Amino acid sequence: MNVEISAAAKALREAREFRKPINKISEDYGVVTLNDAYAVADINTRNRLSQGGRISGKKVGLTSASVQQQLGVAQPDFGVLFQDMEYLDGEAVPTDTLLQPKIEAEVAFVVGKDLQSETPSYAEFLACLAYALPALEIVDSAIADWKISLADTVADNASCGLYVLGNQPVAIGDLDLHEIGMQLDLNGSVASVGTGAACLGHPLRAAYWLACTMAARGEGLKAGEVILSGALGPMVNIQSGDIIQARMGALGSVSCRLV
């Protein structure tokens, strides 16, 4: 194993364990390529699994055209979700494991059946989905001041933190996810607005990118997994004590309270 990749993975683990952000690993450890960045993330995924963690799904990041332009990339990235990251609508969400949290509203999809095709068609992908839910993703970076490159966020598990799922699943065919509107309120005031079109043009297209990417890695999608498809509007800084609610038209609403 590359010594720098192993050292970068350890630095990221310790940053989260001790809640102390670190300098860019792309600078300190020379992790600059996507392959190396995903290798760092894979080490820490295996570490969590070895300690009893259980994968609950995947997240798609960098789905905003403006963020892609900022980082000089032309495609999203992905991270791994674990069961202990999950909270439900209205629950109190602890912040004691987070470093620099921000929140965004997203469309979540739940996989209804395994998709293992090496090159899934869009129809095969749609057939594997069970339903959609409104979701909040609390993103968090171990890199100081969120001064990240593409390699930094990929290595840091796509800046995963926690996520909150709405209560009521909705059939995908009953939704126009391209046109769906989103309003996120922070402590009763509007903090972010957006639409489904902001998420790689359509939330289902973002999720399809993930399905193809995972299939190419030989991993596929598994029944029961959650897919967080990407932000519908700008991220919002948050802290303990905040109350967040997002409304997404026919998809419903989702909320949480940070403690």
Report yes or no: 144 and 21 within 8 Å, Cβ to Cβ.
yes
Closest CA to 232 of 217, 249, 209: 249
DSSP SS3 for 157: helix
pLDDT value at residue 71? 67
Q: Report the C-alpha gap between 259 and 241 in whole angstroms.
A: 5
Q: What is the pTM of this model?
A: 0.95
Residues 230/166, Cβ–Cβ less than 8 Å: no
Cβ-count burial of 222 within 10 angstroms (0-12 exposed, 13-18 middle, 19+ buried)?
middle
Query: Residue 114 corresponds to which tokens in the numbers above?
Result: 């395994």
pLDDT score recorded for residue 66: 67
Per-residue pLDDT of the chain (259 residues; tens, 9 = 90+): 588 999 999 999 999 999 999 999 999 999 999 999 999 999 999 999 999 999 999 999 988 876 777 666 777 999 999 999 999 999 999 999 999 999 999 999 999 999 987 889 999 999 999 999 999 999 999 999 999 899 999 999 999 999 999 999 999 999 999 999 999 999 999 999 999 999 999 999 999 999 999 999 999 999 999 999 999 999 999 999 999 999 999 999 999 999 9
Nearest CA to 243 out of 87, 85, 84, 92 is that of: 92
